[in-house]
């Protein structure tokens, strides 16, 4: 990131972020790609730094608790109006709502919201032939979130379930390699938090939670009906072996 302006009072009349233009290819990430652990680690370290850089873009907003309450209330209203249907969906929304106090701290009415890319998947990560990071692209899904909701792993380090018929399978990405990669990424965030303090330290604390996987998918389920169904099916606790 070269520079940014999060206000409308500028020569463009709109918030903007400037990045370098580079050549490369999209990231291919799996248990076996990249093969060399050194290259895997180097790329994760760069992604960690980029996510921490995004924290520089800030504005004041509602607390994480208020943000989540608003989202779930909207979902419940959609259920009550018939726009969102399912045999037990109203009860499931209420179950999700009851978890707010578990996952989100009491905060002031106004707290810093920070920029989150929201789609740092392989297609939006450009690397060279040595899997060295060149840039990240596509901020089309970016948004401003309070730190407790902004602190998440990049999508290539999350335990996305697969659906096999009517069955939800959480095992596809639940591997020792994923566990090792996530531990390394968290270590990168920790080093940055120790060096920078402030919001980065708060970001690390939220990412390092023992129940981070449960909290993350609970959060994702507020805006994804597919994940809502998957989380409701496992009683809001994903059966992930390698935490």
pLDDT in tens, 152-178: 999 999 999 998 877 899 998 999 999
Cβ count within 10 A of residue 35? 9
Give the domain ranges of the chain.
Answer: 25-233
Please give the C-alpha separations between residue 199 and each of 40, 146, 172, 193, 236, in angstroms, as whole numbers.
26, 10, 33, 8, 28
- In terms of pTM, does the model score above 0.75? yes
Write out pLDDT tens, residues 66-112: 999 999 999 999 999 988 888 799 999 999 999 999 999 877 778 99
> What pLDDT is recorded for position 107?
74
Can you list the alpha helix ranges (DSSP code H) found in the chain? 37-54, 64-81, 89-98, 100-103, 147-150, 176-196, 198-207, 212-220, 225-233
25-233: which CATH topology? Aminoglycoside 3'-phosphotransferase; Chain: A, domain 2 (3.90.1200)
Structure confidence by residue, pLDDT tens digits, 177-224: 999 999 999 999 999 999 999 999 999 999 999 999 999 999 999 999
C-beta atoms surrounding 238 within 10 Å: 20
**Tens of pLDDT, residues 110-141:** 899 999 999 999 999 999 999 999 989 888 89
């Amino acid at each position: 990131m070269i520079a940014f302006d999060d206000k409308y009072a500028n020569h463009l009349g709109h918030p903007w972020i400037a990045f370098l233009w580079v050549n490369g290819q999209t990231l291919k990430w799996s248990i076996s790609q990249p093969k060399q652990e050194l290259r895997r680690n180097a790329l994760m370290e760069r992604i960690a730094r980029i996510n921490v850089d995004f924290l520089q873009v800030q504005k004041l907003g509602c607390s994480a608790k208020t943000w989540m309450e608003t989202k779930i209330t909207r979902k419940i209203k959609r259920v009550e109006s018939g726009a969102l249907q399912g045999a037990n969906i109203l009860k499931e929304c209420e179950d999700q709502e009851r978890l707010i106090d578990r996952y989100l701290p009491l905060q002031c009415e106004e707290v810093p919201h920070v920029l989150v890319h929201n789609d740092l998947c392989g297609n939006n990560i450009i690397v060279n032939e040595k899997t060295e990071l060149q840039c990240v692209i596509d901020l089309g899904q970016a948004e401003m979130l309070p730190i407790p909701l902004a602190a998440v792993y990049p999508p290539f380090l999350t335990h996305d379930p697969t659906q096999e018929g009517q069955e939800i399978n959480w095992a596809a990405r639940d591997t020792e390699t994923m566990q090792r990669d996530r531990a390394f990424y968290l270590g990168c965030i920790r080093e940055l938090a120790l060096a920078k303090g402030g919001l980065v330290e708060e970001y690390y604390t939220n990412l390092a939670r023992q129940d981070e996987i449960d909290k993350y998918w609970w959060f994702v389920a507020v805006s994804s009906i597919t994940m809502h169904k998957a989380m409701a099916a496992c009683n809001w606790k994903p059966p992930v072996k390698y935490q």
